[in-house]
Structure 1
Amino acid sequence: MRIILLFDFYGALLTKKQQLAIEMHHLNDLSLAEIADELGVTRQAVHDILKRAEQVLIEYEEKLKFVEKHQREQQTIQHIYELMHELPKEVQQVPALRLALQELNCLLDYSKEV
């Protein structure tokens, strides 16, 4: 699951062959043999491509920390949303707060897709 998340953030920085291998293996659940047939290489080559791609994704995250930052932001948004829901109902009906709750809810729903 972590590789898929890293791929969502940094996948465009991989080579086309690495992108394809990650998609086929992690997203489409193809075996190394199936990927090897598709790419016209050996299973060992697919294994090497995947391991290198995964290592590159991990290195990008270690340096850039985009996934870590995104997860912290999502936790903060969730916490703010929960705090706002604890406000009295009449306060929640203030137009600006109602709009803010809707916006936060949209952000939280979006994060579930990522």
Structure 2
Amino acid sequence: MKHETEDTKMTYSFIDYRNSLSERNRQDIESKEWETAQEKVNEVVKGLLNQKDMRMAREIEGEMIDLLDSMYSIPDFAETKKIREDILRTVRENIELLRNSGLEDIAKEIEKEMEDV
């Protein structure tokens, strides 16, 4: 549930994250509604990380490690190069998001996993 703080920043709970994912998942993936719902997910994630919510940070860590692990099942062919690049870009963006939120230790843990890919 969102709450306004004294400086008018919104605060979020992990339930808000789950609810925003649920809303996004009800949309067609290539629709405007999905994009709008994804923006809401991103807003909640950033809010939670700015609040130093460790559950959110660990959720991102797990998802990024899962993404990196998925690369082992993607053959290293010219046809799959863009998929592999997109995965690495997403992981780097999330590492930067964690760093910008002051969660350097978790960012470093994900970077260690990247070294093996």
TM-score, normalising length from structure 2? Answer: 0.36
Which structure has more relative contact order (CA 8 Å, sep 6+)? It is: 1
Larger Rg: 1
Structure showing the higher helix proportion among its residues: 1
